[in-house]
Chain A
Amino acid sequence: MTVRSDVPGDVNADEEAVRLTTQPKPVGLARKGDLLGPLRRGWRQLTSMRTALLLLFLLALASVPGGFLPQRRLNPLRVNQYIAQHPGTGPLMDRLRLFDVFSSPWFSAIYLLLFVSLVGCLIPRTRLHLKALTSKPPKVPRSLAKLPVNDRWETVNGVDQVLDQAGAALRSWRVVRREHEISAEKGYLRETGNLIFHLSLILLLVGIALGAFGGFKGTVLVVEGKGFANTVASFDDLQPGRRFSPSSLVPFSVRLDAFRATYGPDGKALTFDADVRWAPLGGAEKRDDIRVNHPLDVGGAKTYLIGHGYAPHIIVKDSTGAVIDDRLVPCLPQNPQFLSTCVIKEANTTGTQFGFRGVFTPTTVTDSTGHVGSSYPGLRNPVLTVAAFSGDLGVDAGTPQSVYSLDTTAMTPVDGGQAHALLPGQVFHLPGGASLTYADTQEWATFQVTQDPGKGLALVAAIGMVGGLMLSLFIRRRRLWVRVRAGAIDGAPTTVEAGGLARTDPDRYADEFAALVRLLRPVATPTTSSTPTSTNQEERP
C-alpha cells in the first residue's frame, strides 16, 4: 500500500472542477455598505433558479382557469351564457378577467417576469459557457477518491507511457496534460443545446408578438358564383392586430365556383371542397381547390375554408309579375343535420314591404305534429319552409340590421303566420299577387383570411427549441481526470489514480468510466486498492 500525500491545490479550484453547469448559484448574503447591494441582490434573486421555478409554476397555475372556463376570444356566446347562468359569481369572475385569461394583466405579468428572468439568466450563462468552450478542462481536484466514480492501481509502466496511453484512450475528448496529470472533458454540446433552447423561447415570444401586433384575421361568407377581395371592406368580420395597417393586405381576389361536401352513411362529414378561381391584383386567374388542411396561400396571406351551409335560390315577383329579386339566400345551420334558418327581406317593393322567415332542411322529415326536421346533412329531400310577413321592415330607419334577423314589430303575419313548405320549383303565392319561388339549392362557404408576419420566426424558434432540447437532454457532459505518480525509488511501480464526474446519467457514466479504465490498466497487475471501481450512488446537482 502506498501512503497517499495530499496534492496541493485550493478549495475554489476543486469546486470549479466539479461544476458542470452554467446555472446561477444560489443567492448569497449581501455585502455590508454596498449601496447597490439591494438592487443587485434583487436582480440576482429574479434571475435565480428558484424564481424561474416559481414563475413556471405560477404560469401553469394561471393557465388553469383558461382550460376550464369558456374564453371570450374562442366562444363569446358561451361566456355570456355562463355569466347569465351564474349571476352571483359570473360578473365578479368577468372583472377578474377569468374569461380572458390569456390577455389578462396578471397572466401577462407572469410571463413577462419569466422572460425578464430568462434574459437576465441567459446573458451570464452564455458568457460563462463561451469561456468554457474556449478554455481547457479544469485542473485535477485534490482528492479523486471523493468523486462519484474513481479508481486507483499500480503499474510497471513509466509515467509518460501511462499518460500517452490515457491520451490515446481519450481521443474523442478534449484533453489537457499538465505535468503528471490529465484533465479531459466531453459533451459541451449539452450546455450549448440548453442555451439554444432558452434562446429559442425568447425568439418564439418575439414571433408571437409580431403576429399579434402586425397580423390580421378576416372572415367572409360567399355563396357559389360569388367572390371576395382581400380588402378591409369585404370582410364580414375583421380582427386586426394592434399595429395592423391595411396597406399590408396582400392584394388578391377569390371567386367560389362550387362547394362540395360528402358525408358517410351516419351523417359524419367526410370531405369538404371549395373549387375556386383566384387572381392577384391585375394578374391572371388560376384555379385551386381549398379544402380542410389545404388553404390557399397568396404571398403569405392564407385563405382557409372554415364553414359551409345551404343557400336556396329564390325568385321574388311583384304583383305585376316582374322579378324584383333573384338570388341565393344563405341559411345558417343550427344542428349537425343542417337544419338551417334563413331570413329573406324584400325592401325594394313599391308600397308594402315583405319579409320571410324560413327553415331549410336538406333531408326533410316531418314528425306527427307537423314539425319539419332534417335527418341527414346531405341534400336528399330539400324543403324550404317559409312564413311571410308584410309591413315595414324597418331597414330605412338607418339603424344597421343583420341580414340574418327579421324585426317583425311593424309587420303583420301573412296567412296568420302559417308556414308553407316548398319543394324545389314550388311557388308561395302572397295575397295581392306577389310570389316567392324556391327555384333550387346552392351552397355557401365561409372563408377566413389570415396574415401572420411572425409565423416564420415562430417556426424557426420551435425548431430551435426541439433541437436544443435534444442536445441538452440526450448529451451527457462529463469530466475525467488521471493523476500519475512515479514510484518512490527506481523500479517501484507507478501509481495511477483516475476519477470522473458526469452531469447526468451516472449509471452510464460508471460503465463508460470502467471501460476506459480497463483500457489503461494492465491486465496482469493485481490491484493494490482494496476497493474496486466504486460508484457513488449519490446524484450530483
Chain B
Amino acid sequence: MTDQSLGQLGDGLLLATVVVYALAMLGYAGEQASRKARRAVTSVRASSQVLVGAGGPSVSLPAETVTVERASRSGRFAIALTACGWAVHVLSLVFRGFAAHRVPWGNMYEFSSAVALVAVSFFLVLVARGRVERALGAFVMLPVVLYLGLASSVLYTAAGPLVPALNSYWIKIHVAAAIMASGSFLLSGVVALLYLLRSRYDAQLTARRTPHFPVSLGAQLPTAPVLDRVSYSVIAFAFPVWTFAIIAGGIWAESAWGRYWGWDPKETWSFITWVLYAGYLHARATAGWKGKKAAWVAVAAAGALIVDYYVVNIFVVGLHSYA
C-alpha cells in the first residue's frame, strides 16, 4: 500500500472512531434514561427483601426487571462500543504513523487524536477498576466526540514528514509524555466540571429548590465526593508526567536551540499550566480551598492547557509552530 492510501485509511478509521464513540454516548444516555425506573425497582426489592428476610427467596417483579435488564444491556453495549471505538482509534493512529514513517503525533491533528485516545483509555481503566460508574460515559464521550470532530475537520493535515528540529529522539519522549498528561488533564477537567454541576445540584436540593436543566443532570452523576476524588487521582497521575514532559522538552530544546528554557509562548503556557496544577494540589491541602474552589482551579488549569495547544499554535508566533 502506498503511504498516501495508508494515511487515508488512518483518516477514515478516525472518522469511524468518532461515529462509534457517538453511538456509545447514546448507549450511556439510554442507560441513564432507564435509571430512574431502576432506582424505583431497587428500593422496592430492598424493602421486599427486608420483609422476607435475608437469604429468603426474592420476590419477582416482572415488569420492572425488564427495565433493569434493558438499562444494563444498554450500558454494557455502550462500554463494548467504547472499547471497539478505542481499538479503531488505536489503529487509525498506527496507520497514520506508518504513512508518515514516524510517530503519529507530528501535527495538531494527530496530536489531538492521541490526546483524546488517552482520555478514553483512562476512562476505560477507571471503569474497569470500579472507580467510577460507567454511566459517567455519556458525559465523557460528549466532549471526546466534539473534540475529535473538531480536530478532524478544522485541524486536518495530511500525513507527511517533520521539520528537522522536530526530528529527534527526545521529541518522541517529550510529546508522548505531553500527550499522556494532556489527555488525563482534559479528562480531569471534565470531571471537575461535573463535580461542580453535582455540587450545585446537591445545594439546590438541600435548599429545597427544584433543579432545572442543566443542573438537573446532576441526578445522573456519581456523588460529589466520588467525582472530587476521581478528578484528584487523575491529576495526581498526570502532574508528574507533565513535569517530566516539560523537562524532556527542556532537554530537547537544549540540544536543538542551545537553551533549555527560553520563555517561548508555548513554554510559557506549559509553565502556567504547570503552576496552576501545582496550585490545585496545594489547594486541596489548604484550609478553605478544598472542594469547589479547588475544582475551579482544575478547570482553569485545563483552560490554560487548551490555550497552550490551540490558541498559541494558531495565533501566537513562536518556535514551536507545528504544521
Is A321 close to B, CB under 8 A? no
Is A220 close to B, CB under 8 A? no
Interface segment among A56-64, A129-137, A250-258, A360-368: the answer is A56-64
Q: How far is the CA of A473 from the CA of B304 in the complex (A)?
A: 22
Q: Which chain A residues (214-255) contact chain B, with CB distance < 8 Å?
A: 217
Interface centre among B223, B252, B254, B307 (most CB of A within 10 A): B254
Which of these, B240, B258, B262, B312, contacts A473 with CB under 8 Å? B240
Binary contact readout B231-273 vs A (1 if CB under 8 angstroms, 0 otherwise): 0110011011001100100111011111111111100110110
Q: Are B285 and A541 in contact (CB under 8 A)?
A: yes
Q: Are A455 and B287 in contact (CB under 8 A)?
A: no
Is B290 close to A, CB under 8 A? yes
Q: How far is the CA of A177 from the CA of B255 in the complex (A)?
A: 56
Chain B contact residues, majority secondary structure: helix
Closest A residue, CB atoms, query B289: A53
Rounded to whole Å, the gap between the CB of B144 and the closest CB of chain A is 25
Q: Are B287 and A67 in contact (CB under 8 A)?
A: no
If A59-B275, A292-B256, A458-B260 touch, whether A67 touches B229 (CB-CB below 8 Å) is no
Rounded to whole Å, the gap between the CB of B278 and the closest CB of chain A is 6
Q: How far is the CA of A66 from the CA of B264 in the complex (A)?
A: 9
Is B2 close to A, CB under 8 A? no
Q: Are B252 and A293 in contact (CB under 8 A)?
A: yes
Is B168 close to A, CB under 8 A? yes
Q: How far is the CA of A52 from the CA of B304 in the complex (A)?
A: 20
Q: Are B317 and A539 in contact (CB under 8 A)?
A: no
Residues of A near B22 (CB, < 8 A) are none
Closest B residue, CB atoms, query A66: B268
Residues of A near B56 (CB, < 8 A) are none
Residues of B near A414 (CB, < 8 A) are none
Is A524 close to B, CB under 8 A? no
Closest A residue, CB atoms, query B247: A462
Is B286 close to A, CB under 8 A? yes
Residues of B near A294 (CB, < 8 A) are 255
If A63-B275, A78-B317, A507-B229 touch, whether A466 touches B247 (CB-CB below 8 Å) is yes
How many residue pairs link A and B with beta carbons under 8 A? The number is 143
Which of these, A208, A302, A466, contacts B244 with CB under 8 Å? A466
Q: How far is the CA of A68 from the CA of B278 in the complex (A)?
A: 22
Is A450 close to B, CB under 8 A? yes
Is A102 close to B, CB under 8 A? yes
Binary contact readout A83-109 vs B (1 if CB under 8 angstroms, 0 otherwise): 000000000000000000110000000
Q: Are A23 and B285 in contact (CB under 8 A)?
A: yes
Q: Are B255 and A52 in contact (CB under 8 A)?
A: no
Q: How far is the CA of A465 from the CA of B282 in the complex (A)?
A: 16
Is B73 close to A, CB under 8 A? no
Range, interface on chain B = 35 or more
Rounded to whole Å, the gap between the CB of B250 and the closest CB of chain A is 7
Q: Are A67 and B265 in contact (CB under 8 A)?
A: yes
Which of these, B161, B232, B272, B276, contacts A270 with CB under 8 Å? B161
Binary contact readout B142-176 vs A (1 if CB under 8 angstroms, 0 otherwise): 00000000000000000011011101111000000
Which of these, B228, B259, B304, B316, contacts A68 with CB under 8 Å? B316
Residues of B near A328 (CB, < 8 A) are none
Rounded to whole Å, the gap between the CB of A525 and the closest CB of chain B is 19
Closest B residue, CB atoms, query A71: B263
Q: Are A49 and B286 in contact (CB under 8 A)?
A: yes
Q: Are B243 and A53 in contact (CB under 8 A)?
A: no
Is B225 close to A, CB under 8 A? yes
Is B283 close to A, CB under 8 A? yes
Is B131 close to A, CB under 8 A? yes
Q: Are B258 and A466 in contact (CB under 8 A)?
A: no
Residues of B near A45 (CB, < 8 A) are none
Q: How far is the CA of A71 from the CA of B163 in the complex (A)?
A: 24
Q: How far is the CA of A73 from the CA of B264 in the complex (A)?
A: 10
Interface centre among A74, A455, A459, A463 (most CB of B within 10 A): A74
Rounded to whole Å, the gap between the CB of A516 and the closest CB of chain B is 20
Is A21 close to B, CB under 8 A? yes
Is A395 close to B, CB under 8 A? no
Residues of B near A455 (CB, < 8 A) are 254, 260
Which of these, B239, B250, B255, B271, contacts A293 with CB under 8 Å? B255
Q: Are B272 and A64 in contact (CB under 8 A)?
A: yes
Is B288 close to A, CB under 8 A? yes
Which of these, B225, B272, B283, B318, contacts A63 with CB under 8 Å? B272
Which of these, B160, B258, B276, B316, contacts A217 with CB under 8 Å? B258
If A53-B286, A64-B272 touch, whether A74 touches B262 (CB-CB below 8 Å) is yes
Q: Are A102 and B263 in contact (CB under 8 A)?
A: yes
If A56-B275, A465-B243 touch, whether A50 touches B229 (CB-CB below 8 Å) is no
Residues of B near A541 (CB, < 8 A) are 285, 287, 290
Q: Are B244 and A63 in contact (CB under 8 A)?
A: no
Closest A residue, CB atoms, query B316: A68
Closest A residue, CB atoms, query B318: A74
Closest B residue, CB atoms, query A291: B164
Q: Are B263 and A66 in contact (CB under 8 A)?
A: yes
Binary contact readout B277-308 vs A (1 if CB under 8 angstroms, 0 otherwise): 01101110111111000000000000010010
Which of these, B161, B258, B265, B279, contacts A450 with CB under 8 Å? B258
Is A268 close to B, CB under 8 A? yes
Closest A residue, CB atoms, query B315: A68
If A295-B258, A465-B243 touch, whether A53 touches B316 (CB-CB below 8 Å) is no
Binary contact readout A449-465 vs B (1 if CB under 8 angstroms, 0 otherwise): 01010010011001101
Residues of A near B169 (CB, < 8 A) are 293
Q: Which chain A residues (139-195) contact chain B, with CB distance < 8 Å?
A: none
If A53-B282, A505-B233 touch, whether A539 touches B257 (CB-CB below 8 Å) is no
Interface centre among B239, B251, B258, B276 (most CB of A within 10 A): B258
Residues of A near B259 (CB, < 8 A) are 217, 450, 452
Rounded to whole Å, the gap between the CB of B244 and the closest CB of chain A is 5
Closest B residue, CB atoms, query A297: B255
Residues of A near B229 (CB, < 8 A) are 505-507, 539
Interface centre among B164, B232, B262, B285 (most CB of A within 10 A): B164
Rounded to whole Å, the gap between the CB of A217 and the closest CB of chain B is 7
Q: Are B272 and A60 in contact (CB under 8 A)?
A: yes
Closest A residue, CB atoms, query B279: A56
Q: Are B255 and A295 in contact (CB under 8 A)?
A: yes
Residues of B near A274 (CB, < 8 A) are none
Closest A residue, CB atoms, query B254: A455
Q: How far is the CA of A473 from the CA of B232 in the complex (A)?
A: 10
Is A300 close to B, CB under 8 A? no
Q: Are B240 and A469 in contact (CB under 8 A)?
A: yes
Q: Are A63 and B286 in contact (CB under 8 A)?
A: no
Is A278 close to B, CB under 8 A? no
Q: Which chain A residues (464-486) contact chain B, with CB distance < 8 Å?
A: 465-466, 469-470, 473-474
Binary contact readout B193-207 vs A (1 if CB under 8 angstroms, 0 otherwise): 000000000000000
Q: Are A53 and B283 in contact (CB under 8 A)?
A: yes
Is A537 close to B, CB under 8 A? yes
Q: How far is the CA of A15 from the CA of B239 in the complex (A)?
A: 31
Interface residues of A (CB under 8 A from B): 21, 23, 26, 49-50, 52-53, 56-57, 59-60, 63-64, 66-68, 70-71, 73-75, 78, 101-102, 208, 217, 264, 266, 268-272, 291-295, 302, 304, 306, 448, 450, 452, 455, 458-459, 462-463, 465-466, 469-470, 473-474, 504-507, 537-539, 541
A to B CB contacts below 8 Å, 10 in the list? A60-B275, A73-B262, A268-B163, A293-B167, A294-B255, A306-B258, A459-B251, A463-B247, A538-B225, A539-B229
Q: Which 9 pairs, one residue from A and one from B, show the smallest C-beta to C-beta distance? A: A67-B268, A293-B168, A469-B240, A304-B258, A56-B279, A49-B286, A60-B275, A462-B247, A473-B236
